[in-house]
Amino acid sequence: MNAMPTPPQYLVEAGLPARDRETVLSLWRGNLGQDARMTAKYEWFYLRCPHGEPLLQLLLDVPTQTHVGTASAGRRRLVWQGRELRGGVLVDLAVLPQHRSLGPALMLQQGLIAAAGEALDVLYGFPNPKAAPVFKRIGYAQSAHLVRYARVLRHAHYLRSRLPGWLASPAGWAADRVVALRDAWSRLRGPALRSAWTDQADARIDAVWADSHKGDDVMAVRDVGHLRWRFDESPLATTRYLLVKRAHDRALQAWFAVQRIEGTLHVRDFWSLDGANGMAAMHVGELLRAARTLGCAAVSVEMCASDVQRKGWQALHFVERGRRPVFTRWSSSDEPAAAASLFLTSADEDE
């Protein structure tokens, strides 16, 4: 007599963001950030995304018939050589503590891969480096790194760890003056620029995107509709835009989406008419001037970009401060874009 097959411990089910809101929030509670913050994120990221609902997977514990885990992929519009691609950024993996073994997490990720096979062209994510072997095991490739660069504007704080206290402040003041003069000299050698701050994405950003050279990288569409959802409607952080133009021209040359945290101005996204040829040093210089006027001690930016695209930042002495791996998994092995490089910024994450 044949023995009855053992029922599985877990099953992965496709979720629906509108229907499964309370289930997902209950799984997040105590596992992913502050409850109020995550509730606000759900309303924005899961229910109001203009690119479509995220792919949502739920992990069912079969013996108890309760959901014990969840994972998602938020939709993104990507472009490559004039073609639009359907992207998904991996977000919000949560498994209840008593079920946190490798198996359940792998099942959720494999569920996303299966769901993405028809709905998306590529999944991408920024997992913890310790998770790299797991992602490689289920078919992801480490495509690149998201690198953080920083530039110090006010040096006294940084010199206190290297100099006696009585010397750090005057030495910092002197370093600030020298660096500011060097930056001013660089700006004088270029065309006259003007910049202005705004709290919402300006409609002229569409012209910057439309008229810019996109190159051969896979990248997110950076139009005003995306920016208004990604930043202006986000309840998670306050974002401002620095708009850069020539002195006697209304049309924009470049823009930066920034968030100020304590004394550092973090550039979350940027683009210019130069596009894939890289942000021009004169535009980065205008960002530094504006940050210095605000009293910021430093400026930072994260990007996955080619040497050409980094040149404007490197010309103004931004230095690497850290890096995170980027993993991708294309739904079709025959997709030509899979061989292309990526252009990514902090905006290509979920927060």
pLDDT of residue 155: 63
113-140: per-residue pLDDT in tens? 999 998 999 999 998 877 788 888 899 9
pLDDT digits (tens, 9 = 90+) for 210-256: 999 999 999 999 999 999 999 999 999 999 999 999 988 889 999 99
Domains and CATH numbers, the chain: 10-120 (3.40.630.30), 147-348 (3.40.630)
On the question of pLDDT at 1 being above 50, the answer is no
Structure tokens at 136: 């490689």
The Cα–Cα gap between 149 and 128 comes to 19
Mean pLDDT over 71-88 rounds to 96
What share of the chain in percent tops pLDDT 70? 89
Max Cα separation, the chain? 89
Q: How far apart are CA 313 and CA 302, in angstroms?
A: 11
Higher local confidence (pLDDT), 6 or 118:
118
Residue type, 48: R
User: Where are the alpha helices (H) located in 273-351, listed in sequence order?
Assistant: 281-294, 307-315
What pLDDT is attached to residue 192?
79
Q: Are 218 and 85 in contact (CB under 8 A)?
A: yes
Residues 257, 277, 74: CA angle, nearest 5 degrees: 45
165-190 pLDDT, tens digit per residue, is 656 577 656 666 666 666 666 666 66
Q: Which residue has the tokens 């130069």?
A: 274
Number of H helices, E strands in the chain: 10, 14
Residues 6+ apart with CB under 8 A from 88: 54, 55, 73, 74, 75, 76, 112, 116, 119, 120, 122, 123, 124
Q: pLDDT for 323-336, tens place per residue? A: 999 999 999 989 99
The confidence score (pLDDT) of residue 135 equals: 86
pLDDT at 164 over 50: yes
